[in-house]
Amino acid sequence: MTTLPTSEKLSFMMDLYSAAASANFFADTKQDETVCWFDLSFRKLPELGGFCITAGLRQVADILENLHFEEEELRELKNRGCPESFLDYLRHFHFCCDIWAVPEGTPVFPGEPVLKVRGPAVQAQMIETILMQTINHQSLIATKANRIVRAAQGRRVVEFGARRAQGTTAALSGARAAYIGGCSATTCAAGALMHGIPTFGTMTHNYIQMFPNEYEAFTAYAKAFPDQCVLLIDTYSTLRSGLPNAIRVFNEVLLPMGKRPCGVRIDSGDLAYLSKKVRRELNEAGFPDCDIIASNSLDEHIIREMIQHGARVDTFMVGEKLITSNEAPVFPGVYKLTAIEKDGEILPIIRLAENVEKITTPCPKLLWRLFDMETGKAIADLMSTQDEDLSNCESYLLFDPDYTWKRKEVRNFVARQLLTPFFKDGKCIYKFPALKDTRFYCAQQVDSLWEEVLRFEYPHNYYVDLSQKLWDIKNNLIRKIRNGGGES
C-alpha cells in the first residue's frame, strides 16, 4: 500500500473557516480543554438510489497519521490573522482524536454516522474538510460502481476512467473506490500499483491507425502480447473489417503459437446488436472462449438495457460516467457537532434549521444493524445512545422516528454494531483487510439487503430508526429550543 503523493498539502487541506474556528477554540478554551463529538453522515442518497457504499478510510488514516504543518502554511494562517500562540501550537502539532468508523464497503443510509469523532475542539474542527473530501469522494464512486456492477448481472466491469477523472488524485482514489464497489479491475496503471488492484487493458485506435492497415496492426499486437491479446475491432468497420481481420490473426498468429485469444473490444455503434453478431461469428470460427468487451460512455442504465436486449458482452469497460459519477457528481456528506464534554459530563447538541432534513440527531451514538436470523437479510438500522446494548436482545420495538405510530416488534434477530474503533489517541488502531477482502465484504453486505432496496428506480425506503431514549433526547431538545429555552 502506497500513500497519496507527498507533494499534496494534505494537512493544510481545510476550508478557511475551519482554521478560523480552530484558532478561536484555541484562544477561548486554553488549548485542549473542550472536548467535542462530531458525526460525519450524509443527508440524501445520490441518484435516488436505495443506499450508499462507504469508502475512503485508508486514505483518511494515511492523512491523519501524518498531520503536520509547514512554515509556509503557518505564514498563510498568520496573514489571515491567526495568533502566534495558535501557530506555535500547529508548529508542534500532535493529533490526539478518537475516531470510530463504519468499515469500508458497508451499505449505509441517510442520517447514519459513517464516522464518529471525539477530540479537542481545536483538532476535531480542523479535520472537517479532509474527512468530508475523502469520504465523500470515494463513497460516491464506490456507490456508482456498485450500481454498475449490479446492472451487469455477474459480467465483469472494468474501471476505465483515468483519462476523464477530475485530476490525478480523483483518478487514483477513484480506481480504489470503484474496486471496493465491485469492479474487477482498473485500466489506471498508477492506481493499480498504488492500491494493489488487478489491471486490464486493450489496444488503442491510435495504435491501429499508425499501421498501413488493420491486419498488420493486429498481427504486430498479437505477436507482442500473445497471452493478453484483446483486439479493438471498430476502428474502421466492426463487422466488415475488424472482426474478419481479428479472426484471421487468431488463426495465423496465435494458434500456431499455441495461444488462444483473450477478447475483442467494440467501442462504437449499436453495442447490443454488434455483440450478438460478433458472438455468432466468433463461435462459428472456433473461438467461443474469446470474450467480447464493450465500451463507449456506458453506465448502469445502458448496461441494463443492453442485457435486456440480449447483448452478448462478457466485460463492460466503464469510464467517464463512473469516475465522475456523472448523474450525481456530489456526495451530500456533512460533518456536524453532536455533543460537548464539560466537567466529565456529555452534553447533547442539536442543530435546528428551516429545512427539516438539516436538523441533526444529538449525542454520541452507536449504529446497529438488525439481521433476520432465518434469512440473513437486514431488517433495519437503529441509532442508539452509547450506553444502550442491543447485542443480546430477544425482541425489540422499532418505530419510525418521524411517523411514530409506525411500529414493529422484531424477534429472532441479531444486532451488529457497525461503528468500529478506528483511531485511539491519534493513532490508527484499525487493521485494514486486503482490498480484495473489502470488495468481497461489500458484495456480501449488499446481498444482505432485500431486493426491493436494491432497485434503481423507486427503491424501498430502508428504515433507519432511533432508540426510544435517543428519540426522547432529540425531541426534548427541539421542544426546549422552540419554547424559547435557548440553544442546547
pLDDT over threshold 50, residue 313: yes
Which parts of 185-324 fold into alpha helices (H)?
189-195, 205-209, 214-224, 243-249, 271-284, 300-308, 320-323
Phi, psi of 69 (to 5 degrees): -125, 130
65-94 pLDDT, tens digit per residue, is 988 888 888 888 888 777 888 888 888 889
- pTM score above 0.85: yes
At 356 the three-state DSSP class reads: helix
Please tell me the least confidently modeled range out of 188-192, 285-289, 328-332: 328-332
Q: Quick check: 280 and 249 in contact, CB under 8 A?
A: no
Question: What is the average pLDDT across 373-402?
Answer: 95
- Same structural domain, 380 and 275: no
Q: Quick check: 358 and 43 in contact, CB under 8 A?
A: yes
- Same structural domain, 216 and 311: yes
Size of the chain, expressed as the number of residues it contains = 488
Which parts of 261-351 fold into alpha helices (H)?
271-284, 300-308, 320-323
pLDDT of residue 105: 98
Please list the residues that pair with 424 across neighbouring strands.
Answer: 427
Separation of alpha carbons 488 and 479, rounded Å: 10
Q: Quick check: 72 and 364 in contact, CB under 8 A?
A: no
Domain assignment of residue 66, yes or no: yes
At 246 the three-state DSSP class reads: helix
- Same structural domain, 379 and 413: yes
For residue 181, count other CB atoms closer than 10 A to its CB: 29
- Same structural domain, 307 and 363: no
- Same structural domain, 133 and 172: no
Closest CA to 83 of 27, 127, 124, 11: 27
- Same structural domain, 466 and 399: yes
For residue 416, the domain's CATH number is 3.20.140.10
Separation of alpha carbons 127 and 449, rounded Å: 33
pLDDT over threshold 80, residue 144: yes
Extract the C-alpha cell encoding 291: 470474450
Domain assignment of residue 433, yes or no: yes
Sign of CA dihedral 179, 184, 186, 192: positive
pLDDT of residue 225: 96
* Of 4 and 88, the one with more pLDDT: 88
- Same structural domain, 100 and 167: no
Listed residues 269, 303, 323: the one ending a domain: 323
For residue 187, the domain's CATH number is 3.20.20.70
Number of domains composing the chain: 2
Domain assignment of residue 1, yes or no: no
Domain assignment of residue 9, yes or no: no
17-65 pLDDT, tens digit per residue, is 666 677 676 766 555 568 999 999 999 888 779 999 999 999 999 999 9
Looking at every residue in the chain, the average pLDDT score rounds to 92
Separation of alpha carbons 291 and 283, rounded Å: 11
Listed residues 323, 340, 357: the one ending a domain: 323
Domain assignment of residue 59, yes or no: yes
pLDDT over threshold 50, residue 332: yes
Closest CA to 114 of 99, 125, 97: 99
Extract the C-alpha cell encoding 305: 438495457
- Same structural domain, 458 and 313: no
Listed residues 279, 307, 323: the one ending a domain: 323
Domain assignment of residue 114, yes or no: yes
pLDDT of residue 11: 56
Calculate the CA 396 to chain-centre distance. Answer: 31
- Same structural domain, 157 and 304: yes
Separation of alpha carbons 469 and 374, rounded Å: 29
230-282 pLDDT, tens digit per residue, is 999 999 999 999 999 999 999 999 999 999 999 999 999 999 999 999 999 99
Q: What DSSP element (H or E) covers 169? A: helix 168-181
List the domain range (segments joined by +) for residue 105. 16-141+329-482
pLDDT of residue 10: 58
- Same structural domain, 319 and 343: no
**Residue 485, Cβ density class (10 Å: 0-12 exposed, 13-18 middle, ≥19 buried):** exposed
- Same structural domain, 265 and 231: yes
Domain assignment of residue 4, yes or no: no
pLDDT of residue 18: 66
**Residue 142, Cβ density class (10 Å: 0-12 exposed, 13-18 middle, ≥19 buried):** buried
pLDDT of residue 1: 46
- Same structural domain, 154 and 134: no
Q: Quick check: 291 and 315 in contact, CB under 8 A?
A: yes
pLDDT over threshold 60, residue 488: no
Extract the C-alpha cell encoding 113: 454516522
Domain assignment of residue 2, yes or no: no
pLDDT of residue 80: 78
147-168 pLDDT, tens digit per residue, is 999 999 999 999 999 999 999 9
